[in-house]
């Protein structure tokens, strides 16, 4: 982490990730595109999602979550910052000349080689079938269904632990503590995601949130009664409603929202705490 001297009130606790690992500040042009910003508005221009808008202009990097070039070795050319995600990304060059972006794990450096195959060596960055990964290994970018591309553990510092392999399924322990089964012919990458210090970042000031495209959040207790169930009253007052509610009066905090008939319920062995 990089700390700053307290030259102002906002700088006193301000911190950023150390970007010493980054090797270039220019993305691969062929793998970028401009995304249209909607600022939380629908096709009529009305705000349907609060707290969104503004932010620095950014190019979207096309990330290869499937990594479906099997048996072709690739070399890490650069490690880059991605404005659309918390983890760092790597530009890799395959032996056949194709370049792709992947989420880079914590550890590999520029010049290291990686490979995707059923019998890939158990090295950080390599990708192989779950059934070939030993119990206790930490993995990331895990598929939920064979060939679907990685969907689990893709944010900075996250990883999933392999607990067991039995009856065609691999038991995985999620970052939340949930234990679930995934078909063991799904692919997963070895190692923990890069930028593990991301959760220690202190924003420090309101302006930095605006750079990220996050608009202010107003507390319900300072609104009028017509705008929020917590609104109204003289000065600071109690909530006025027994159960916590959203702005729209829906009960929150303590109510289960997962569908009881969801097909994947049978694959969850232990709920998160």
Instruction: State the pTM of this model.
Output: 0.90
| Chain segment 21-62, per-residue pLDDT in tens | 999 999 999 999 999 999 999 999 999 999 999 999 999 999
Q: How far apart are CA 237 and CA 227, in angstroms?
A: 16
CA distances from 240 to 79, 225, 227 (A): 52, 11, 14
Q: How far apart are CA 94 and CA 97, in angstroms?
A: 5
Q: Residue 253: what pLDDT? A: 85
Q: Residue 33: what pLDDT? A: 96
| Chain segment 232-270, per-residue pLDDT in tens | 999 999 998 899 999 999 999 888 889 999 999 999 999
Q: Is the Cβ–Cβ distance between 163 and 142 less than 8 Å?
A: no
Q: How confident is the model at residue 198 (pLDDT cuts 50, 70, 90)?
A: very high
Q: How far apart are CA 173 and CA 142, in angstroms?
A: 12
Domains and CATH numbers, the chain: 18-199 (2.40.50.140), 218-273 (4.10.950.10)
| Buried residues in 135-146 as b, exposed as e (16+ CB within 10 A) | eeebbbbbbeee
């Amino acid at each position: 982490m990089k700390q700053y001297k307290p030259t102002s009130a906002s700088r006193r606790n301000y911190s950023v990730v150390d970007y010493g690992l980054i090797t270039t500040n220019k993305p691969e042009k062929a793998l970028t595109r401009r995304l249209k910003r909607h600022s939380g508005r629908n096709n009529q221009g009305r705000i349907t999602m609060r707290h969104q808008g503004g932010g620095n202009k950014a190019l979207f990097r096309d990330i290869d979550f499937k990594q479906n070039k099997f048996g072709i070795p690739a070399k890490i050319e650069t490690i880059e910052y991605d404005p659309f995600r918390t983890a760092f990304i790597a530009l890799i060059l395959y032996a056949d000349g194709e370049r792709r972006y992947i989420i880079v794990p914590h550890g590999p450096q520029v010049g290291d080689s990686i490979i995707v195959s059923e019998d890939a060596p158990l090295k950080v960055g390599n990708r192989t079938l779950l059934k070939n990964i030993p119990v206790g290994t930490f993995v990331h970018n895990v598929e939920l269904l064979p060939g679907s591309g990685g969907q689990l553990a893709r944010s900075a510092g996250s990883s999933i632990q392999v607990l067991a392999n039995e009856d065609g399924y691999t038991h995985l322990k999620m970052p939340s503590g949930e234990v679930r089964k995934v078909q063991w012919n799904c692919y997963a990458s070895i190692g923990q995601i890069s930028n593990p210090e991301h959760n220690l970042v202190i924003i420090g000031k309101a302006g930095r949130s605006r750079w990220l495209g996050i608009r202010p959040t107003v507390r319900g207790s300072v609104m009028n009664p017509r705008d929020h169930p917590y609104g109204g009253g003289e000065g600071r007052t109690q909530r006025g409603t027994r159960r916590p509610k959203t702005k729209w009066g829906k009960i929150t905090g303590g109510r289960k929202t997962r569908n009881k008939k969801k097909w994947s319920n049978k694959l969850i062995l232990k709920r998160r705490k």
